[in-house]
Structure 1
Amino acid sequence: MNAHYRSFASDWEHQATVRTRPRRVLEEDDKLIYPLCRQPLVLSAGFVEHCPQWRDFVLVQTFYKFINDVVIFETEIVDKTARNIAKNRFSIPFPAACRYDAMTVVVDEDYHALVALDFMQQTLEQTGIAPLELPAAIELSRAIPIAQTQTPTHLHDAVELICVAIAENTVTHDVAAFAKDDSVKQSVRGLMADHLADEGRHAIFWASLVRHYWQTASDEDRYGIAQVLPVFLQHYLTNELQRDFDQLLIEHLDISADARQVLQAQVSALTFPITRQHPLISNIMGLLRRSGLLQTPCVAQALSAYLPVPGSPS
């Protein structure tokens, strides 16, 4: 890997947001704090009919959940994996340059969490809306351990590495869409753009590590990992936690029992099948292709349900 790995240490020195960005301050204007298109509840027919006056409350609470998810993702998952690599505590060996880069990822992710918490406090002070009880876990918190339990112990770090790489590439796509929505406050869009600037670098870093591991993995280990990838995706891409949170939100709206029942039914019916049409699947398959996994027959076979049908547009 020494011959092929290109460190981004110099890029980090000049580009990392922890070194180059001023503090973002939340504006007091009429723009949204969270995109309407990312909270289907407020766009539903029942909500528009019965309680449109609760829109901003729902958007603020959804923003709090988003911030909370970012903090969990950055500090409890990515930080842990990157720190173990940086301190040479990972079962997969990586060269010194890679371990140094891993520590810059730790710094970046902890800084993202710090900025996110700052925005949560600014939002509370500006709106006077206190956050509801926020989830203690995210989908990734559950999906990685489930995948690991279905592989031998010696593959747990490799599974963690691949799952984190998938998530880091997915969040890059997610944040990019958020940053481009001009209905949202400029400071929030700036927060997302700052995050994106670092996450683009991270996505390349994790893909490089997965590629390195995959080139050295045995056929038996490759097969074992291939079998758990669909399991991971089913638990990672679920929207169950979001549905649970939306139901909690509905309980806190001052509306009639009939209106509450309508909204609860709409949220319960809102599902996103985890198929090849899922909006994040093509992004994930792209990462697996760039990392060399999809070129391995056992992986392609295990993930065949998510790959484009031959002859159809990819």
Structure 2
Amino acid sequence: MNLAGYHCFADDWERRATIRTRPRRLLENDNKLIFPVCRQPLVLSATFVEHCPQWREFVLVQSFYKFINDVVIFETEIVDKTARAIAKNRFSLPFPLACRVDAMTVVVDEDYHALVALDFLQQTVALTGIAPLDLPSHIELSRALPAAQAQAPAHLRDAVELIGVAIAENTVTHDVAAFSKDSSVKGAIRGMMADHLFDEGRHARFWTSLVRLYWQTASAQDRDAIAHVLPTFLGHYLTHELQKNFDLHLIDHLDISPNVRNALRDDVRALAFPIHRQHPLMSNILGFLQNSGLLQTPSVADALNAFAPGPGGLA
């Protein structure tokens, strides 16, 4: 691979990584929220506001626990795995040493983010006295990657993994940014999210650079084969199903009447985002595909237009 134009991130990591520069953050015992209400529409539904507003803290705290659990799964089971394989030269795509060193900084960051997340889970339990319910064992990406890889030729499965992780790292950066700016949330949590964002911005650029390097060397046949599986990946990645199931699980643990419970269930089932160009994450995904060079490939643009048809197309 030709590293011309590749920016090495290791020096920047030495100077600025949060594991090197940030103290431990402690959760404040104040009146601010653990989790933004805008990220949990259940507590904003008319049924909830009218019939069970006393359960708002419970629902928001449990939603925070799920968020933390998702972070730990994402960073230790998925991103860490891919970055570690690249760093140790065990990935089927051979990257130069400079890329492998950068990949190891991602490994260190992601494991540190998981440690911080678990620390905040422990602090939240101590502060609120609310223990976590059973949390999901997987996230959307846990399903999206193997589903897409199963449709790809064997020699392209690592390439599909690389692109899927890069898509996720670019979308999570925007998600974390919105969380970190919500003034309704406790300062320590916003600080944690700002720290996370500081690292994830670097990660997003790193993964975009790796995908761009790979795409420049991929054959036309391999590009077309990857384009073919992108709709499968996005269909699983953008689904609302896991969040809906978690919210229904939450409702089962509220001490409310059967009629209210059924009404809340109906509210949750009506909240899903359709998977098309108006999905909240789609603009971020398209930005990544543009910056990494994939969207300039006709088969990729065609696959995405078929995935999300409509006036103007996605390209």
Sort the TM-score into its range (normalised by shorter chain). Answer: over 0.9
The corresponding residue for 2:61 is 60
Indicate which of 297, 309, 312 corresponds to 1:310: 312
> Counterpart of 1:24?
25
The answer as to whether partners of 1:86 and 1:99 remain within 8 angstroms in 2 is: yes
Give the 5 Å matches for 1:1-314: 1-304=2-305, 305-306=307-308, 309-310=311-312
> 1:311, CA displacement in angstroms?
9.8
Distance across 2 between alignment mates of 1:147 and 1:311: 22
Task: State the alpha-carbon separation in 2 of the partners of residues 212 and 2 from structure 1.
Answer: 8
Change over 3 Å in CA distance of 1:310–1:268 after alignment to 2:
closer
Equivalents in 2 of 1:60, 1:241: separation in Å? Answer: 18
Return closer, same or farther for 1:108/1:237 CA change in 2, 3 Å cut-off. Answer: same
- Partners of 1:239 and 1:272 within 8 A in 2: yes
Question: In 2 relative to 1, CA 42–207 (structure 1 residues): closer, same or farther, beyond 3 Å?
Answer: same
Distance 1:287 1:307, change over 3 A: farther
Shift of 1:271: 1.1
1:274-296 CA-to-partner distances (Å, cap 9, x unmatched) read 11111110110010000000000
SS at structure 2 position matched to 1:183: coil
Residue type of the partner of 2:192? L
**Residue identity matched to 1:279:** P
AA aligned opposite 1:193: A
Percent of pairs identical after alignment? Answer: 73
Query: Which whole-Å deviations, capped at 9, do the CAs of 1:31-56 have from their partners, x for residues lacking one?
Result: 00100000000000110011000000
Match of 1:95, as an amino acid? P
Aligned pair count?
313
Seen in structure 2, the aligned counterparts of structure 1 residues 63 and 290 have a Cα distance that, compared at 3 Å, is: same
What is the TM-score when the length of structure 2 is the normalising length? 0.97
- Runs of 5+ consecutive residues of structure 2 not aligned to the other structure: none
- Give a deviation string over 1:138-180, Cα, whole Å, max 9, x none: 0000100000000111000000000000000000010001011
- The whole-number CA distance in structure 1 between the counterparts of 2:69 and 2:272 is 22
Q: Following the alignment from structure 1 to structure 2, what is the Cα–Cα distance between the partners of residues 293 and 254? A: 50
Tell me by how many angstroms 1:309 deviates: 3.7
Deviation at 1:119, TM superposition (A): 0.1
* Cα deviations by residue, 1:83-118 (Å, 9 ceiling, x for unpaired): 000000001111101100000000000000000000
Amino acid at match of 2:267: Q
Corresponding letter in the other structure for 2:135: L
Q: Which amino acid aligns with 1:39?
A: Q
| Bigger mean CA offset, 1-10 vs 205-214 | 1-10
Paired residues of 1:285 and 1:307 also in contact (CA < 8 A): no
Q: Note the alpha carbon deviations across 1:199-243, whole angstroms, 9 max, x for none.
A: 000000000000011011111110110011111001001110010
Counterpart of 1:212, as a letter, is: L
Unaligned runs of 5+ in 1: none
- TM-score with structure 1 length normalisation? 0.98
Contact 1:281 1:306 in 2 (8 A): no
Q: Quote the Cα distance in structure 2 between the aligned partners of 1:278 and 1:300.
A: 17
RMSD: 1.4
